[in-house]
Amino acid sequence: LIEKFLENGANINSPTIDGKTPLHIACENGRASIIGTLIDKGAEINSLSEDDETPLYLACQNNHIQTIKMLLEMKADVDIANKNKKTPLHVACENKNFVIIKLLIQSKAEV
């Protein structure tokens, strides 16, 4: 389906009204199965939403571990802060998700 949209001229990085790209939405909703395709087709892995949230931040906020693992394997920046100066590690700590905290620290998140 993604390929079909792109063949018809869709912009892979075209944002919604709140600045979220298809990659943001996929990560926010834990759609790990399409993240690789989006990035392979040119999606910006560290793109910022209107609130300066990265796809990784949204995946951490929503506790999508498989999505986070995939983004980290693809070298998403772990230290980009949103407009409130919160990084993915901050939101993982707020959620008390120790699995995500460990993944981020192993990926060299600034502590």
Taking residues 52-62, report their average pLDDT.
99
Distance CA 60, CA 81 (A): 13
Integer Cα distance of 82 and 74 in angstroms: 20
How does the average pLDDT of the chain come out, rounded?
95
Q: Tell me which CATH code domain 2-106 carries.
A: 1.25.40.20
Average pLDDT over residues 35-56: 96
User: CA-CA distance, 23 to 9, in Å (whole number)?
Assistant: 17
Q: What percent of the chain has a predicted confidence (pLDDT) above 90?
A: 87
Residue 1's pLDDT band (cuts 50, 70, 90)? low
Between CA 108 and CA 22 the distance in angstroms is 26
pLDDT of res. 55 = 99
What is the mean pLDDT of the segment spanning 42-48?
Answer: 97
